Structure 1
Amino acid sequence: MRSSRRVASAVVLAAALLLPVAGPAAADPVVSPLAPALNPYFAQELTWGACTDLARTAADREAYANPQYDCAFLEVPLDYGDPAASTARIAMLRQRALDPAARIGSLFVDPGGPGGSGVSFLPALAGLLGDGEVARRFDLIGFDPRGVGVSEPSIDCSTTEEVDAERADLDLDTSPEGVAQTEAEFREFADRCAERVGLDVLENVGTRDVARDLQIAHEVVGDPQLTYLGYSYGTSIGTEFAEQFPTEVRALVLDGAVDPSLDPVASRTTQARGFQRAFDGFAAYCAAQPECPLGTDAAGASARVQELLTPLVDAPVPTSDAGRELGYADAVTGMVQALYADSLWPPLLDGLRQVARGDGTNLLILSDIYYDRAPDGSYGNLLEAFPVISCMDGDRLTDRAVAREVNEANLALAPFLDAGYGASDVLELCSFWPVPPTSDPGPVDAPGLPPVLVASSTGDPATPYEDGVSLARQLSARLLSVDNDGHTVVLQGVNACADEVTTRYLVDLVLPPADMTCARPPAPAS
């Protein structure tokens, strides 16, 4: 799932009594039928150096210039079925443990997506952790999964101009002609990826292979077992690693869980309920503010926001970014981006007020954040990697009756996104993908897995709370419920109780004696 980081001031809450969890014995050396061919990868020595060459944006360059960070590339097989044939390179950015004498090992971190860059995310997380215990005791390592960010080869299917065109494409027409046009665009994108990225790469960028890369990574940095923190889609990476290598887990923290056990309809509708819940929360906030463009009746806000935005279908509004306008698609994307965290509700409110006055500036900025657009107009590959990796991980929807059922359910569950064009039986991009999936969704089976921690926010819009409950049950994990409206929460200074539970587990392998809940911090005094 798309993931967005949230920053807030910490408020101290009392942590519950904790009980120790026995850690598993150190893993034996990796044994595999392909072991001889994999041996060079496990035996490699990383060359850590300056990170500046990995920067894509000015913000990256400024962050990476900090001498506390160093970077390296990990060599892995492109195709684990033929390890000697060709290689991929996994980019990693590291902050060394601030207290080397107390160092436990490395903490690998993934921010989500699929397609989120752990390299660019790690400095932000390190800033939140400061000189706290996790930063003192662990080397913090952010990595770009294969195909993502600055890892090589990269999933690069579209030019800047093609991404701009895709952002402007509405795909609202649910007539047979409109469905055919949308599906033709899906086929064109799939063909473009096959031509520009290569089938050999597309066949090997799924989460199955990311987990295999992590097995090499934790061994190469000197850790016999993996310590891992995954947010949002990053929970899928952690879950996949747990299934493939359960005895190689030291600690897994999975925050904002993706539930692999959902059926084809539920897996495609779970976010709709979560985002409507977040929109309803925003509508109540808006109704209490002066000049709320959605009115004072929060119950009618879903219809009102569409009344405000649908005129943009035919008449985009100007923005302060010279030559750029805000159309309907970008307006909706900007609104959805802001619903990932209630800290973005004020700019969303300002953006909707602006639209009412014929100005699209704020919503376009929010949409640019979603699309990972840099100030110079260039894009990262997050929104290209997202569908490519998703297509390798999921089932393929080929039944038009099921497609219509999904579309109808999403419109019913999230009326704030209903533009009034009716349900469609359009198939998904992945229905036209040129290579078969490499993962088969289903309940998790990880015998021998030590106790792990699943955190789930009660108001998470993108990965709803119920999905975390389900994943914790499948993993026999400890569930940490957090009264929180944002997407993901632990170790971000949002909830001191959740941060303390997570820290004790990562550092001491100590979990609460039972599933527990962290209350919402009191609002700061005005």
Structure 2
Amino acid sequence: MRTLGRLALFAATSLLAWPALAASPPLKPCRIDGIPNELLCGSAQRPLDPARPDGVKIDVHYLVVPAMARNKQPDAVLMLAGGPGQSAIGIAARVLPRLSRLNNRRDIVFIDQRGTGKSAPLECHEDKKPADTEQLDTAAQMKRLDTCRAALETLPYGRDGGLRFFTTTIAMQDMDAVREQLGVPQWNLIGGSYGTRAALEYLRQFPTKVRRTVIDGVAPPDMVLPASFSPDTQAALEKLFDANAKTHPQLRADWQALLASLPRAVTVAHPLTGKPEHFTVDRDLLLRAVRAPLYQPSLAAALPAALHAAATEGRFESLFGLTSAFGGGKGVQLATGMHFSVICAEDYPRLPQATDRPGADYGRLDAELYARVCKTWPQGEVPAAFYTLPPAPSPVLVLSGGADPVTPPRHGEHVAKALASGHPERVQHVVVPESGHGVMAIGCMRDVMFRFIDAKTDAAALPQDAGCATRIPRPTAFQPVQQEATP
């Protein structure tokens, strides 16, 4: 990852760039892994239960990357992380290069949402371990989650049903408290994946405090995540089959043969240690293993060869290597406890009424897992208004990847239509046909986002030309190198 060369400039001037902070708790110099320069950190004390301001308190931690220019704009950029369960501060080093132009004249703020990072974390013991095949096993996962929930309920902020107070609605109230503490008049919101749901909820609760919004890989509040996972992943898998029909005409047959061969005992060399691992591949394990690389077309390009090797030769190293490649990396891991506190409160109660039709292969895989966990997980109260999508009060740029297995364009289209009600000029939906989960990562999209947020007027903010991304082709399928036979 490239570093931001000019970050050193604010080492001596950053405190001068915050005239509105005189009455606020001081920001302190801090260092973040992956960023070589000194930044600023702070925290806001918040009630665990908003209805009991004198009760248990938690500290919501945040990171500020000050604008480079002295003559900065007052509207800071707030990055809302995905998951649910991802630490915003944990992904700062990855995200900052995409926001470098915005950082010239705007502060960039990363807030660890309650339950993540340093903000009353709800982490399970396994959260910081690299992904491996054992973590895909349903039975083992259920045991770990039961143990994790019991441990979290012993924490000061987990006792007496404390896990109920980590909903998106309450968390967005924390975000606004940080805005007030920093003296920021309005945020420019950027949310990815679950961060789009967070952004939409902030926009609903605090419409006058948002200047511009970018949502990438949209997870609407009325989307029942455990139910939508199945058809959306199935659609991405079918698109993979279609895209490789000429180079791998047997791919669908390989897939069906592989499914029919399960369960089967296999031995696989661990992709990181090289040590042999012995386990049983069942249908659930295979389906979860295949989903992971579908998130990124560059990894999905290796799936045809990996599936062929597994189906015809019983070799699973490539497939589980791709799964580990997706799951690795610092800052990627989720706080599992926060994840289930959100999903069990916001999605699980609506699961019986979900209208999404299960995928042919994926069926009710995810719905059944979440139903089992949420039966015993404390569930917070969610206001009915949370599931609504009021018309956008300010410009919104909606981004979707056509090959996304979890938040494909159908969700972005639904949100864009609702937000544009009455004011279609305020919303633009950009679909990048061959992108996976996350369009902002495409190099030229940083300029699109910059032009959108930096535009002087709302009328000039939209529409934006994103042809630089929409014309990018799908990566061609990986072809293993064949060793020539020795004469």
State if a TM-score over 0.5 links the two structures: yes
Structure-1-length-normalised TM-score: 0.70
Q: 2:237 aligns with which of 279, 286, 300?
A: 279
Supply the AA of the counterpart residue of 2:104: R
Give me the whole-angstrom Cα distance separating, in 1, the residues matched to 2:22 and 2:206: 15
CA distance in 2, matches of 1:161, 1:115: 12
Alignment correspondent of 2:123: 156
Unmatched runs of 5 consecutive residues or more in structure 2: 3-20, 421-425, 477-487
Aligned-partner Cα distance in 1 for 2:128–2:449: 43
Structure 1 segments unaligned to the other structure (5+ residues): 1-5, 8-40, 53-60, 172-180, 290-294
Q: Are 1:147 and 2:98 matched, yes or no?
A: no
Query: Is the counterpart of residue 118 in structure 1 residue 88 in structure 2?
Result: yes
Number of the residue aligned with 1:87:
57
Change (3 A) 1:350 1:199: farther
Secondary structure, counterpart of 1:492 in structure 2: coil
Q: Answer yes or no: is 1:485 the counterpart of 2:434.
A: yes
Matched, 1:390 2:343: yes
Distance 1:493 1:186 in 2: 35
1:18 corresponds in structure 2 to none
User: Does the CA-based 8 Å contact 1:129-1:491 persist in structure 2?
Assistant: no
SS at 2:452's partner residue? Answer: helix
Greater CA drift, 355-364 or 135-144: 355-364
Instruction: Tell me, in whole angstroms, the C-alpha distance in 2 between the residues paired with 1:333 and 1:324.
Output: 18
SS in 1 for 2:30: coil
Are residue 520 (structure 1) and residue 470 (structure 2) matched? yes
Give me the whole-angstrom Cα distance separating, in 2, the residues matched to 1:382 and 1:202: 13
Aligned residues of 1:232 and 1:463 also touching (Cα < 8 A): yes
- After TM superposition, give the deviation of residue 98 of structure 1 in Å: 2.6
Deviations 1:438-479 (CA, angstroms, capped at 9, x unpaired): 344764254782332222233322112111111122222503
What amino acid is aligned across from residue 486 of structure 1 in structure 2? S
Q: 2:484 maps to what in 1?
A: none
Q: Secondary structure at the match of 2:86?
A: coil
Query: Normalization by structure 2: what TM-score?
Result: 0.75
Whole-angstrom CA distance in 2 between matches of 1:350 and 1:268: 29
Contact kept, 8 Å, 1:395 with 1:441, in 2: the verdict is no
CA distances 1:272-328 after superposition (whole Å, capped 9, x unpaired): 232222222333455555xxxxx52344454244247x344x435343522545653
Query: Please, which moves more after superposition, 100-109 or 512-521?
Result: 512-521
Amino acid at match of 1:342: P
Paired residues of 1:334 and 1:370 also in contact (CA < 8 A): no
Deviation at 1:148, TM superposition (A): 0.8
Q: Which residue number in structure 2 is paired with residue 432 of structure 1?
A: 376
| 1:334 equivalent in alignment to 2:289 | yes
Q: Which residue of 1 aligns with 2:27?
A: 47
- Could you tell me which residue of structure 2 aligns to residue 37 of structure 1? none
1:435 and 1:277, CA in 2 relative to 1: closer, same or farther beyond 3 A?
closer
Using the aligned pairs only, state the percent identity.
20
Q: CA deviation at 1:159?
A: 5.3
Partner residue in 1 for 2:452: 505
TM-aligned CA distance change 1:493 to 1:84, over 3 Å: same
Structure 1: how far apart are the matches of 2:28 and 2:393? 32
State the secondary structure of the residue aligned to 1:315: strand
Q: Would the alpha carbon gap of residues 230 and 379 (structure 1) be closer, same or farther in structure 2, given more than 3 Å must change?
A: closer
CA contact (8 A) 1:244 1:446 kept: no
Report the more deviating stretch, 459-468 or 327-336: 327-336
Match of 1:315 in 2: 266
Aligned to 2:7: none
1:95-134 to 2 correspondence within 5 Å?
Answer: 95-130=65-100, 132=101, 134=102
Distance 1:506 1:276, change over 3 A: same
Say which SS state the counterpart of residue 277 (structure 1) adopts: helix
What CA distance in whole angstroms lies between the structure 2 residues aligned with 1:85 and 1:459? 46
Report the equivalent of 1:444.
Answer: 388
Q: Where do 1:168-183 residues align within 5 Å?
A: 169-171=137-139
RMSD over aligned Cα atoms: 4.2
Matched, 1:270 2:228: yes
TM alignment of 1:397-476, pairs within 5 A: 409-410=357-358, 413-415=359-361, 417=362, 427-440=371-384, 443-446=387-390, 449-476=393-420
Q: Secondary structure at the match of 2:256?
A: helix
- Match of residue 138 from structure 1: 106
